[in-house]
Chains A and B, each alone.
Chain A
Amino acid sequence: MSLAIPDRDWYKAPVGAEKLWIGLALFWCFVMSLMMPFWHFRGKQNSRGEAYAVKPLAFLERTEKFAAANKVGEFNGMPVAEPAPGGDAYLIGRMWSWYPVLKLRQGETYRLHLSALDLQHGFSLQPLNMNFQVLPGYDHVLTITPTSKGEFTIVCNEFCGIGHDKMIGKILVE
Chain B
Amino acid sequence: MSSIATVFPAGAAPAPVPQPGAMRRCDTTGLQICLGAEKFIKFNAVAAVVFLLVGGVAAILLALTRWQAVHLLRVDWFYRILTLHGLNMLIFWILFFEVAVLYFTCTVPLKAQLFSRKVAWASFSLMLTGALMVNTVILQGKADVLLTSYLPLLAHPLFYLGIILVAVGTLTGVFNFFATLYTAKRDRTYEGSLPLVTFGATAAAIIAVVTLLHGAIVMIPTFTYSMGWTAQPDPMWYRMIWWGLGHQSQQVNVCAMVSIWYLIAQLTTGAKPLNETVCRGAFVLYILFINLASAHHLLVDPGVGSAWKIWNTSYAMYLAVLASMIHGFTVPAAVEVQYAPTNSRSIASSCSTASPGSWRYTNTCLKYRSRANGALASSASLVRISSCLTRAASRTSS
B274 touches A36 (CB 8 A): no
B109 touches A49 (CB 8 A): no
A4 touches B322 (CB 8 A): no
- B78 → chain A, closest Cβ, in Å? 9
Which of B197, B326, B393 is the one whose CB lies under 8 Å from A22? B326
Q: Which of A1-42 contact B (CB under 8 A)?
A: 1-8, 10-19, 21-22, 25-26, 28-30, 32-33, 36-37, 40
- CB neighbours (8 Å) of A21 from chain B are 325-326, 329
CB closest residue in chain B, given A160: B153
- A156 → chain B, closest Cβ, in Å? 13
* Per-residue contact bits, chain A 37-67, to B (CB 8 Å; 1 contact, 0 not): 1001000001111110000000000000000
Interface size class of B (residues with CB under 8 A): 35 or more
B319 touches A6 (CB 8 A): no
Cβ of A136 within 8 Å of any chain B Cβ, yes or no, is yes
Which of A22, A36, A47 is the one whose CB lies under 8 Å from B322? A22
Contacts A10-B276, A12-B277; A49 near B306 (Cβ below 8 A): yes
Cβ of A165 within 8 Å of any chain B Cβ, yes or no, is yes
B333 touches A49 (CB 8 A): no
* Per-residue contact bits, chain B 52-66, to A (CB 8 Å; 1 contact, 0 not): 000000000000000
- A170 → chain B, closest Cβ, in Å? 20
- Give the interface segment out of B35-43, B166-174, B344-352: B344-352
B318 touches A33 (CB 8 A): yes
A51 touches B326 (CB 8 A): no
A136 touches B235 (CB 8 A): yes
Q: Report the count of interface residues on A (CB-CB < 8 A).
A: 56
**Contacts beyond the supplied A5-B191, A46-B306, A132-B302: 18 A-B pairs with Cβ under 8 Å:** A2-B271, A4-B109, A4-B393, A5-B192, A18-B278, A25-B326, A26-B322, A29-B319, A49-B305, A51-B303, A114-B302, A120-B150, A133-B300, A136-B152, A137-B236, A140-B303, A158-B150, A162-B76
B residues lining the A interface (CB < 8 Å): 31, 75-76, 79, 108-109, 144-146, 150-153, 190-197, 234-236, 239, 262-263, 265-267, 270-278, 300-306, 309-310, 313-314, 317-319, 321-322, 325-326, 329-330, 333, 347-348, 350-351, 353, 355, 358, 361, 393, 396
